[in-house]
C-alpha cells in the first residue's frame, strides 16, 4: 500500500457527474443491500457528502448502517478501499465490521488497512513517521507492568518514597493526562502539584524523556504522539486529510478528548475546500464511560464542530417491546444534556416493565431465583436471561442462591465473586486459620500484602517442609525461631506466625464474621486496598465487605469454608445453558429476552459515589446507565429494590431509586409483596424465618442472636426499632487488649474497646511471646530426637564447620568456627 507521503501529487479524478454515463452504469449495479433498510437507515447510508451525525438509539441497527454505508461507498466507486478510515473502539467490533462489509462487497474489504481501533491506526501512522516524534520505526509499546517498573525507577532516582507515592498512582495520573491530550507542558499546575509534593509534572516530563531514550511508547502515546505529529507537521496532516476521502466513526459518544482531537485534525477542511466526508455514529443516551475519560460533550457539539452537518435519527427499535421502549424513553427524557430522540417499535406492546419491592437483598435473590425457575419450567432458554447489577458486590447473593438452587450461571466481564483475587486472598487467610496444613493457602498470602518475604525466604520454607514432610506453617514456625534466615525476614515471619496463632485461638470464641474483619484489618490487607489508587480499588473494598457479610448465614467458620468449597467446585460446561450475571457497564451492546435489574435504590443506583464526585453530570450518566439496562431486554424487564441492604458494611434502610418514579405508569406493573412484616408491608424478614429449634442455649443460636442485636439493628421484642451498633463500618481499626497468661505463655481476649476520642484509652498490649499453631502437630513434627549429639562435628552450607553444644529436639545449638554460636534445625547440617 502506498504511503500518504509517497503519493503522486496529481489531483484525483473527479467523481462521476450526475446523469453521466459512468454514474448511470454505477447505478445499474446491484444494490440489494439497500432494500433491507428502513427509510431513516437508508438516508444515513445514502447521505455521502459532508459531515453526518447518525443518532442511533439502542437496537436501531447502527452497525448495519455503518457497514452498509462502507459497502455503498465502495459499490459506487466514491473511494478505493484504502481511502476509507473506519474507526471502532474494540478489535472485536473491527472484525465484525470487516466481516459484514465482506459479505456485501466480497474481497474488496481485504484492501481496507485503515479499518480498526483508534490505537491500532495510531500505531500505523506513528511507525511511518516515528523520527518526527523522536522515535524509531521499530519502537516498543510498553505494557502496564513495564510502565510501572519504569516509573518506580524514576521515583527512586528522585528520592521519592514509593510507598507514600505509589508508581501505580502516578501511572493513572499520566494516563488521564494523555487521555485528555495533555503533554507535560500543558498539565495544569494544580494537577501537577497533586503528586509527590508538586513533582507530578516533572516526573511526567522525565517519564516521556525516558521513553524516548528506550525507543518506547505506552498506550496513551499512540494517540498523543499522533496529535503532536499532526500539529507540528502540517504537511503530513494535509497528506492524510487528502488521502482519507471518507471517515467513519463508531460509538462516537465514548470518545475521550485525545480521540476527539485526533479525529478533528484529520477531519478539518482547508480553506476553499468542501466539508470533509465524516460520518459519526453514536447515541448520546448510551454514554456511560465517563469514569474512564469518555466525554459525552463530543457528540453533543458535533454540529458546532462541523457546521452544516446533517443529523439523522434512528428511532425504530428492532429489539424491545413497546412497553420497555416507553419506559426507557420516558426515563432518559429527564436528562438535560442530550440531543433528543424517542425510540419506537412496530412490534406488539408486550409485557409491562415489572417493579418489585423486597425486604432485603436475600429476599431479592430468592425472588429472582424463583422467577428464573418458573421461566425455566416454561422452556425459557437460560442463555437468554441476564441479571444486570450496578456494583459487582451484588453478584455474591445471586451466586450463592443459584448454587443452592442448582441453577447454572456465568459471570460476564469478570470472574465469579468467589474467584476474584481479593476474595481468594481473604479466603486464604481464613483457610490457614481453620487448617494450618493448607500449604496452597499459606503460600498465596505469606507475602500479601508485601512484607519483605521474598522468593528466597519462601524457597527456604519449601525446602525445609519437603525434607521434613511437614506443612509450610510448621516450617515457618520452626525457621522463625532459628538463625537460618536473615534477621529482618525472620522477625517478619515470626510476627506473622504469632498473628495466625492468635487468630486460630480466637476462632472458637469469637463470631467468625468479627474474626474475618479482624484478620483483614490486622494483616494489613484492607489498608493495602485503601492505599491503592487504581480505579477498581473501591470496588474491591466493597467486595471484601460483601464477603464478610456472606459469612453471617453460617454458624461457624468451618461451615462457611465448606460452603465455599462447594461453590468453587461448581462445574461449568462451556456449552451448557446458564443465566448471565454482569454489571450494567459490561452489558452494553448485549441483548437478552429477559433482564432482571436488582438494586434500584438511592445510594446504590444512582451511585452515591458518582453523585458526590460528579454532581449533576454524574446523575445524568447514572440515568443513561439505567436506560442502557432497560434496553438490553427484548421481552421482559424486571426491576427490584430492597428496603434494607448492606452498603459499605452497614445495614441501611434504603430509599427506592428516583429512577423508578421517572418511569411511565402506563408501562409499569407494580408487584405487590406477599405477606407482611408488621410496619413495613414489604414481606417477612429473613430473621423471622430463622428456626433454631427448641434448644435456645445452643452456641449457634446465641451467636446469631448476638449478631442480630449488635450489627443488624432491626426491631426488638416489643416491635420498637433497635439502634444497633450502626456507627462502625467494616475496615475501621478495632483494638483488642490481650492479657498474657505468664505461666501458659498464651493470650486471652480481654474487653473489646474502641479507641475513639470519646472512649477511655485501653491498657497497651503486653509484649507477645511466640505461640504455637496446632500444638500437637508441631510436637509431632518437631519433637523428634535428633540424630546428633553434643560434641559432634558438623557442616552447615551457610555457616561452615562447627561443634554441637546443645540439642533440643530437632534444634541444635552449634558453635561455628567463623560464625559463632547459632541455633539451627538439624536437617540443615551434616556430619563432618
pLDDT in tens, 4-40: 545 444 444 555 555 566 655 555 454 678 888 999 9
Sign for the CA dihedral angle at 230, 235, 241, 243 comes to negative
Decide if pLDDT at 336 tops 60: yes
Q: What's residue 368's pLDDT? A: 96
Is 62 part of the annotated catalytic residue set?
A: yes
Catalytic, out of 221, 251, 399, 546: 251
Q: What's residue 657's pLDDT? A: 96
Q: Which of 436-445, 675-684, 770-779 has the highest mean pLDDT?
A: 436-445
Decide if pLDDT at 267 tops 60: yes
Decide if pLDDT at 699 tops 90: no
Q: What is the mean pLDDT of residues 54-65?
A: 92
Decide if pLDDT at 751 tops 60: no
637 pLDDT band, cuts 50/70/90, is very high
Q: What is the DSSP-derived secondary structure letter of residue 607?
A: B
Share of the chain above pLDDT 90, in %: 43
Decide if pLDDT at 479 tops 50: yes
Q: What's residue 636's pLDDT? A: 96
Catalytic, out of 319, 341, 401, 632: 632
Q: What is the 3-state secondary structure (H, E, C) of 717-749?
A: CCCCECCCCCCCCCCCCCEEEEEEECCCCEEEE
Mean pLDDT score of the chain: 81
Is 698 part of the annotated catalytic residue set?
A: no
Is 152 part of the annotated catalytic residue set?
A: no
Q: What is the DSSP-derived secondary structure letter of residue 344?
A: B
| 237/624 Cα distance (integer angstroms) | 36
| Beta bridge partners of residue 358, listed in sequence order | 642
Q: What's residue 31's pLDDT? A: 67
Position of cell 517498573?
A: 149
Decide if pLDDT at 739 tops 50: no
Q: Which of 8-22, 397-411, 448-462 has the highest mean pLDDT?
A: 397-411
Cα separation values, 79 from 69, 82, 104, 442, 471, Å: 12, 8, 16, 63, 70
Sequence-ordered list of residues with C-beta below 8 angstroms from that of 526, at least 6 positions apart, any chain? 520, 541, 544, 731
Q: Which of 608-622, 671-685, 735-749 has the highest mean pLDDT?
A: 608-622
User: Are the CB atoms for 44 and 217 separated by under 8 Å?
Assistant: no
Computed over its alpha carbons, how large is the radius of gyration of the chain? Answer: 33
C-alpha cell at 8: 503522486
- pLDDT tens for 662-698 read 999 999 999 865 433 433 344 444 334 434 333 444 4
Catalytic, out of 40, 41, 62, 588: 62
587 pLDDT band, cuts 50/70/90, is very high
Q: What's residue 570's pLDDT? A: 52
| 249/283 Cα distance (integer angstroms) | 12
Q: What's residue 743's pLDDT? A: 34
Q: What is the mean pLDDT of residues 729-740?
A: 36
Decide if pLDDT at 605 tops 90: yes
Q: What's residue 735's pLDDT? A: 34
Is 63 part of the annotated catalytic residue set?
A: yes
Q: What is the mean pLDDT of residues 228-245?
A: 94
Say which residue, 637 or 440, is predicted with more confidence: 637
User: Containing H/E element for 409?
Assistant: strand 409-411
- pLDDT tens for 534-567 read 777 888 888 898 888 888 878 888 888 877 776 6
762 pLDDT band, cuts 50/70/90, is very low
Sign for the CA dihedral angle at 639, 644, 646, 647 comes to positive
Q: What's residue 39's pLDDT? A: 93
Helices (H), 551-672: 557-568, 608-630
Cα separation values, 802 from 487, 797, 805, Å: 21, 11, 9
Q: What is the mean pLDDT of residues 319-325?
A: 95
Is 623 part of the annotated catalytic residue set?
A: no
Q: What's residue 534's pLDDT? A: 76
User: Are the CB atoms for 826 and 786 separated by under 8 Å?
Assistant: yes
Catalytic, out of 46, 47, 63, 754: 63
Decide if pLDDT at 280 tops 90: yes
What pTM, to 2 d.p., does this model score?
Answer: 0.66
Sequence-ordered list of residues with C-beta below 8 angstroms from that of 639, at least 6 positions apart, any chain? 353, 354, 355, 356, 597, 598, 600, 660
* C-beta pairs of 720-727 under 8 Å, 24+ apart in sequence: 724/651, 726/650
Residue 761: CB atoms within 10 Å: 8
Dihedral (Cα; 38, 44, 48, 50), 10-degree rounding: 160
Q: What is the 3-state secondary structure (H, E, C) of 108-128?
A: HHHHCCCEEEHHHHHHHHHHH
Is 250 part of the annotated catalytic residue set?
A: yes
Q: What's residue 466's pLDDT? A: 81
Q: Which of 353-367, 400-414, 703-717 has the highest mean pLDDT?
A: 353-367
Q: What's residue 503's pLDDT? A: 92
Q: What's residue 689's pLDDT? A: 41
User: Are the CB atoms for 318 and 62 separated by under 8 Å?
Assistant: no
In 3D space, the residue among 513, 596, 606 whose CA is nearest the CA of residue 560 turns out to be: 513
451 pLDDT band, cuts 50/70/90, is confident
Sequence-ordered list of residues with C-beta below 8 angstroms from that of 292, at least 6 positions apart, any chain? 256, 535
Catalytic, out of 250, 422, 484, 514: 250
Share of the chain above pLDDT 70, in %: 81
The phi-psi region of residue 731 (left if phi > 0; otherwise alpha if psi is between -120 and 50; otherwise beta) is: left
- pLDDT tens for 165-176 read 889 889 999 999
Q: What's residue 537's pLDDT? A: 83
| 460/485 Cα distance (integer angstroms) | 9
User: Are the CB atoms for 613 and 317 separated by under 8 Å?
Assistant: no
Q: Name the pairing type of β-strands 820-825 and 800-808.
A: unpaired
Q: What's residue 695's pLDDT? A: 40
User: Are the CB atoms for 718 and 692 separated by under 8 Å?
Assistant: no
Q: Which of 24-38, 74-88, 135-149, 818-832 has the lowest mean pLDDT?
A: 24-38
Catalytic, out of 253, 286, 457, 526: 286
Q: Which of 174-178, 224-228, 558-562, 580-584 has the lowest mean pLDDT?
A: 558-562
Amino acid at each position: 500500500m502506498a504511503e500518504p507521503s509517497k503519493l503522486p501529487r496529481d489531483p484525483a479524478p473527479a467523481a462521476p457527474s450526475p446523469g453521466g454515463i459512468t454514474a448511470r452504469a454505477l447505478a445499474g449495479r446491484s444494490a440489494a443491500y439497500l432494500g433491507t433498510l428502513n427509510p431513516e437507515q437508508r438516508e444515513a447510508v445514502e447521505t455521502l457528502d459532508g459531515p453526518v451525525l447518525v443518532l442511533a438509539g439502542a437496537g436501531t441497527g447502527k452497525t448495519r448502517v455503518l457497514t452498509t454505508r462502507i459497502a455503498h461507498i465502495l459499490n459506487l466507486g466514491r473511494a478505493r478501499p484504502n481511502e476509507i478510515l473506519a474507526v471502532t473502539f474494540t478489535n472485536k467490533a473491527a472484525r465484525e465490521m470487516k466481516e459484514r462489509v465482506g459479505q456485501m462487497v466480497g474481497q474488496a474489504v481485504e484492501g481496507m488497512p485503515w479499518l480498526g481501533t483508534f490505537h491500532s491506526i495510531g500505531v500505523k501512522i506513528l511507525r511511518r513517521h516515528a523520527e518526527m516524534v523522536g522515535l524509531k520505526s521499530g519502537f516498543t509499546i510498553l505494557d502496564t507492568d513495564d510502565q510501572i517498573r519504569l516509573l518506580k525507577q524514576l521515583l527512586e532516582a528522585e528520592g521519592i518514597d514509593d510507598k507514600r507515592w505509589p508508581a501505580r498512582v502516578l501511572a493513572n495520573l499520566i494516563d488521564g493526562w494523555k487521555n485528555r491530550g495533555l503533554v507535560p507542558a500543558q498539565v495544569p499546575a494544580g494537577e501537577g502539584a497533586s503528586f509527590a509534593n508538586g513533582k507530578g509534572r516533572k516526573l511526567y516530563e522525565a517519564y516521556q524523556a525516558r521513553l524516548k531514550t528506550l525507543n518506547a511508547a505506552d498506550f496513551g502515546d499512540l494517540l498523543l504522539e499522533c496529535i503532536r505529529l499532526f500539529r507540528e507537521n502540517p504537511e503530513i496532516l494535509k497528506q492524510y486529510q487528502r488521502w482519507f476521502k471518507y471517515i467513519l466513526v463508531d460509538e462516537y459518544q465514548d470518545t475521550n478528548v485525545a480521540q476527539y482531537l485526533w479525529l478533528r485534525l484529520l477531519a478539518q477542511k482547508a480553506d476553499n475546500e468542501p466539508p470533509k466526508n465524516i460520518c459519526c455514529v453514536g447515541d448520546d443516551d448510551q454514554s456511560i464511560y465517563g469514569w474512564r475519560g469518555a466525554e459525552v460533550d463530543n457528540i453533543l457539539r458535533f454540529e458546532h464542530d462541523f457546521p452544516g452537518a446533517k443529523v439523522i435519527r434512528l428511532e425504530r427499535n428492532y429489539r424491545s417491546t413497546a412497553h420497555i421502549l416507553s419506559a426507557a424513553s420516558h426515563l432518559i427524557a429527564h436528562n438535560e444534556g442530550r440531543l433528543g430522540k424517542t425510540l419506537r417499535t412496530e412490534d406488539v406492546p408486550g409485557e409491562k416493565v415489572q417493579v418489585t419491592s423486597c425486604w432485603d437483598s436475600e429476599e431479592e435473590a430468592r425472588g429472582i431465583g424463583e422467577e428464573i425457575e418458573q421461566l425455566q419450567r416454561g422452556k425459557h432458554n437460560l442463555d437468554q436471561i441476564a441479571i444486570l447489577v450496578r456494583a459487582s458486590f451484588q453478584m455474591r447473593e445471586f451466586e450463592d442462591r443459584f448454587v443452592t438452587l442448582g441453577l447454572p450461571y456465568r459471570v460476564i466481564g469478570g470472574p465469579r465473586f468467589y474467584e476474584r483475587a481479593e476474595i481468594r486472598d481473604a479466603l486464604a487467610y481464613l483457610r490457614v486459620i481453620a487448617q494450618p496444613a493448607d500449604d496452597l493457602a499459606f503460600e498465596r498470602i505469606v507475602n500479601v500484602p508485601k512484607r519483605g518475604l521474598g522468593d528466597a525466604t519462601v524457597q527456604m520454607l519449601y525446602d525445609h517442609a519437603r525434607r521434613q514432610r511437614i506443612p509450610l506453617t510448621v516450617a515457618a514456625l520452626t525457621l522463625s525461631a532459628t538463625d537460618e534466615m536473615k534477621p529482618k525476614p525472620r522477625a517478619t515471619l515470626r510476627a506473622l506466625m504469632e498473628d495466625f496463632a492468635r487468630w486460630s485461638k480466637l476462632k472458637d470464641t469469637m463470631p467468625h464474621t468479627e474474626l474475618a474483619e479482624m484478620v483483614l484489618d490486622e494483616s494489613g490487607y484492607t489498608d493495602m486496598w485503601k492505599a491503592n489508587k487504581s480505579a477498581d480499588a473501591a470496588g474491591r473494598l466493597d467486595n471484601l465487605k460483601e464477603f464478610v457479610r456472606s459469612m453471617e448465614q453460617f454458624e461457624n467458620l468451618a461451615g462457611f469454608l465448606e460452603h465455599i468449597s462447594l461453590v468453587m467446585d461448581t462445574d461449568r460446561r462451556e456449552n451448557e445453558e446458564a443465566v448471565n450475571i454482569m454489571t450494567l457497564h459490561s452489558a452494553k451492546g448485549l441483548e437478552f429476552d429477559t433482564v432482571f435489574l436488582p438494586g434500584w435504590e438511592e445510594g446504590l443506583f444512582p451511585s452515591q459515589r458518582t453523585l458526590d464526585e460528579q454532581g449533576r453530570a454524574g446523575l445524568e450518566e447514572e440515568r443513561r446507565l439505567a436506560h442502557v439496562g432497560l434496553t438490553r431486554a427484548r421481552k421482559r424487564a424486571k426491576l427490584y429494590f430492597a428496603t434494607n441492604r448492606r452498603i459499605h458494611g452497614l445495614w441501611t434502610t434504603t430509599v427506592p431509586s428516583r429512577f423508578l418514579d421517572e418511569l411511565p405508569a402506563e408501562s409499569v406493573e407494580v408487584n405487590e409483596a406477599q405477606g407482611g412484616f408488621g410496619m413495613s408491608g414489604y414481606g417477612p424478614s429473613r430473621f423471622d424465618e430463622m428456626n433454631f429449634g427448641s434448644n435456645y442455649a445452643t452456641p449457634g443460636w446465641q451467636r446469631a442472636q448476638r449478631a442480630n442485636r449488635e450489627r443488624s439493628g432491626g426491631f426488638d421484642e416489643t416491635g420498637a426499632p433497635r439502634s444497633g451498633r450502626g456507627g462502625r463500618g467494616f475496615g475501621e481499626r478495632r483494638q483488642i487488649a490481650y492479657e498474657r497468661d505468664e505461666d501458659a505463655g498464651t493470650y486471652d481476649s480481654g474487653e473489646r474497646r474502641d479507641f475513639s476520642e470519646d472512649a477511655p484509652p485501653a491498657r497497651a498490649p503486653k509484649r507477645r511471646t511466640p505461640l504455637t499453631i496446632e500444638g500437637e502437630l508441631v510436637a509431632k513434627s518437631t519433637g523428634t530426637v535428633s540424630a546428633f549429639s553434643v560434641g559432634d562435628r558438623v557442616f552447615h552450607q551457610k555457616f561452615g564447620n562447627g561443634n554441637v553444644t546443645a540439642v533440643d529436639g530437632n534444634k541444635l545449638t552449634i558453635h561455628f568456627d567463623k560464625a559463632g554460636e547459632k541455633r539451627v534445625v538439624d536437617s540443615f547440617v551434616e556430619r563432618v
